[in-house]
Amino acid sequence: MENKNNIREIKQLIQDVAMLKEILLSTVHRNDSEGELSDWANEELKIARKIPISEFISLEEVKNRILKR
């Protein structure tokens, strides 16, 4: 009985992964079939690259700031 349940769960996982794959692929093709960044993303990237590394904050600092709210 347990073996049948395992097989059923594996089949369900395969279906779920196939569905997620389809969603992800359709999203990529819908936005940009070439995989290039949008104009907005390119602008944001340019801005982000201008920030000096010395101004970066650690993940721990981000967590602390969020938890203080």
Total domains, the chain: 1
- Decide if pLDDT at 5 tops 70: yes
Average pLDDT, integer, range 30-46: 78
Supply the DSSP symbol for 55: G
Torsion of CA 62, 64, 67, 69, to 10 degrees: -80
Whose tokens are 């996982």? That residue is 13
- Identify the band that residue 27 occupies on the pLDDT scale cut at 50, 70 and 90: low
Mean pLDDT of 34-48: 87
Predicted pLDDT of residue 37: 81
Q: Count CB neighbours of 35 within 10 A.
A: 8
Query: Domain residues for 28?
Result: 2-68
Global confidence as pTM: 0.39
Classify residue 28 by its DSSP letter: H
Is 58's pLDDT higher than 70? Answer: yes
What gap in Å lies between CA 33 and CA 18, rounded to an integer?
A: 20
